[in-house]
């Protein structure tokens, strides 16, 4: 950005600038920096002033809002020489006592015409009585200090209007709420590494936690420790945590500590699952916590959940959510504990080996599929056939173009006929072969008879 500061023949700062920025360290430093330099980018300014780039941009916006600089586009920051302002004459603001009371509230800050314009506008725009305006200003100063901006004042006024704060009693109650919670919420902000005064919305949020949800200050501080999972914790993030604590009825400091201990233990178990699946990142999400807790509530043990995760990891694209479907399927099959899973796995290995051996006998050399295993189970369990009967059928089917399909056809027919032994199968196969040969002979004889009845075109040609 380029600073256009040629209106000054020397480095000087107008009194009004000092008065309004004396409590705003970053804004004042940025203002002075621009006077001393012709050009610099935000990163450079931030580095030289020892603050982050976001603070520099906020400071520039603050200077623009106060009318000390303007932005002409293209990164050009133009300095504006502020006109000296004084309180408007008595004819414009005739209530001298009112003006004096306002100035006393802002003790340590000299007020200008533009300030009084704002104060009197509160009555004109929102219909507040002067006593309400004085209490509103007192409230604002408790929140933001005597350097409170017009924007902040109008924001409070708008909020009070919506809350229908129209009486002195209501206004005092609002101020009392700030006094009651101010130091507490400021400490909470400090724990979140937020080094500033709380805003009105933040105080209202805090009041919800304490007055509506009934969390104590100590309980809230205990909950702040749970924000370490966030890179950039905020009161909004903390609000979500407290809402979750409320939903599980963890309201006291002790209950929150127990909740945190249990959650840490759960997170370690979830991380073990993420390693098994495997996930590239081991950051536990709230969604995964809820899913894991749901599995526990359904009665699945930690060990069964881990075993299900191993089963899911065999898939091409394993997901945390697939664990539920595996456990549900196991339950349907009566697989309810680790020993059942082990027995199932051993059985699956045996079936896989049997299916592989059957494929080789069919002349099929590839990895065993679930279809191969299902077909073997059908032959063994549904048809009730011994391996030697299946092997005998395979010796027949291997000579066909589609041996696996042929094997299924042969065994299906044998099953329909009640064939259970190799002897019965051989007998049926021998009969089928004889019947086939007979059919062939019959077809040959029929062909001879048909041939005799057909005219011979060559013979007819010879006769001519």
* Domain total in the chain: 4
The reply to whether 442 falls in a domain is no
Q: Are 320 and 277 in contact (CB under 8 A)?
A: yes
Output the CA torsion 78→84→85→89 (10° steps): -140
Can you give the pLDDT at residue 88?
47
What SS3 state is found at 356? Answer: helix
Can you give the pLDDT at residue 83?
60
Element (H, E) at 71: strand 69-71
Task: Please write the tens of the pLDDT for every residue from 211-262.
Answer: 899 999 999 999 999 888 777 888 999 999 999 999 989 999 999 999 999 9
Q: How far apart are CA 372 and CA 293, in angstroms?
A: 37
What SS3 state is found at 280? Answer: coil
| 210 DSSP 8-state letter | I
Comparing CA positions, the residue from 292, 275, 271 lying closest to residue 283 is 271
What SS3 state is found at 43? Answer: helix
Q: Tell me the pTM.
A: 0.48
Q: Residue 307 belongs to what domain range?
A: 255-336
Residues 183 and 210 in one domain: yes
Can you give the pLDDT at residue 48?
87
Can you give the pLDDT at residue 201?
84
Task: Please write the tens of the pLDDT for every residue from 198-224.
Answer: 887 888 899 899 989 999 999 999 999
pLDDT higher than 60, residue 85:
no
Percent of the chain scoring above 90 in pLDDT: 45
Residues 116 and 206 in one domain: yes
Residues 307 and 416 in one domain: no
**What average pLDDT does the segment 302-327 reach?**
93
Can you give the pLDDT at residue 45?
87
Comparing CA positions, the residue from 362, 340, 344 lying closest to residue 409 is 362
Comparing CA positions, the residue from 120, 124, 148 lying closest to residue 134 is 120
Residues 26 and 129 in one domain: no
The reply to whether 52 falls in a domain is yes
Residues across the chain? 464
Could you tell me the CATH number of the domain that includes residue 13?
Answer: 1.10.10
Residues 29 and 110 in one domain: no
The reply to whether 462 falls in a domain is no
What SS3 state is found at 76? Answer: strand
Neighbouring residues of 143: CB distance < 8 A, sequence distance ≥ 6: 152, 156, 178, 197, 198, 199, 200, 203
Is the bond preceding 278 in cis, omega lying within 30 degrees of 0? yes
Residues 126 and 149 in one domain: yes
Task: Please write the tens of the pLDDT for every residue from 49-71.
Answer: 888 988 888 888 888 887 888 87
What SS3 state is found at 243? Answer: helix
Residues 113 and 208 in one domain: yes
The reply to whether 107 falls in a domain is yes
């Amino acid at each position: 950005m380029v600073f256009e500061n040629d209106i000054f023949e020397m480095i000087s700062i107008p009194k009004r600038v000092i008065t309004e920025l004396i409590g705003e360290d970053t804004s004042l430093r940025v203002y002075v920096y621009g006077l001393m330099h012709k050009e610099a980018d935000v990163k450079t300014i931030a580095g030289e002033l020892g603050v982050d780039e976001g603070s520099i941009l906020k400071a520039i916006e603050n200077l623009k809002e106060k009318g000390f600089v303007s932005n002409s586009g293209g990164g050009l920051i133009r300095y504006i020489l502020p006109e000296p302002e004084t309180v408007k004459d008595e004819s414009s603001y005739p209530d001298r006592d009112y003006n004096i009371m306002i100035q006393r509230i802002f003790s340590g800050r000299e007020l200008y015409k533009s300030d009084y314009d704002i104060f009197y506008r509160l009555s004109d725009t929102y219909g507040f009585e002067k006593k309400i305006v004085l209490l509103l200003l007192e409230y604002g100063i408790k929140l933001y200090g005597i350097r409170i901006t017009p924007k902040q004042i109008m924001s409070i006024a708008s909020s009070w209007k919506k809350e229908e704060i129209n009486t002195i009693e209501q206004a005092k109650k609002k101020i009392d709420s700030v006094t009651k919670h101010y130091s507490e919420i400021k400490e909470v902000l400090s724990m979140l590494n937020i080094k500033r005064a709380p805003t009105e919305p933040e105080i209202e949020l805090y009041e919800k936690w304490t007055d509506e949800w009934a969390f104590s200050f100590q309980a809230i501080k205990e909950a702040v420790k749970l924000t370490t999972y966030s890179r950039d914790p905020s009161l909004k993030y903390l609000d979500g945590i407290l809402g979750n604590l409320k939903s599980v009825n963890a309201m006291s400091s002790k209950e929150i500590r127990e909740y945190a201990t249990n959650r840490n233990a759960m997170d370690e178990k979830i991380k073990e699952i993420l390693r098994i699946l495997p996930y590239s990142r081991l950051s536990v999400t709230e969604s995964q916590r809820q899913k894991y807790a749901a599995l526990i509530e359904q009665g699945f043990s930690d060990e069964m959940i881990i075993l299900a995760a191993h089963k899911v990891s065999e898939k091409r694209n394993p997901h945390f959510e697939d664990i539920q479907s595996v456990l549900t399927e196991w339950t349907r099959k009566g697989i309810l504990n680790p020993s059942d899973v082990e027995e199932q796995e051993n059985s699956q290995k045996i079936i896989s080996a049997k299916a592989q051996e059957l494929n080789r006998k069919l002349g099929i050399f590839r990895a065993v599929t679930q279809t191969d295993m299902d077909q073997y189970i059908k032959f063994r369990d549904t048809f009730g056939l011994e391996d030697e009967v299946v092997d005998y059928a395979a010796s027949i089917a291997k000579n066909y173009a589609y041996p696996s399909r042929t094997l299924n056809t042969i065994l299906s027919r044998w099953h329909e006929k009640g064939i259970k032994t190799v002897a019965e199968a051989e007998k049926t196969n021998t009969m089928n072969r004889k019947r086939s040969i007979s059919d062939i002979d019959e077809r040959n004889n029929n062909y001879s008879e048909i041939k005799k009845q057909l005219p011979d075109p060559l013979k007819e040609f010879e006769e001519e």
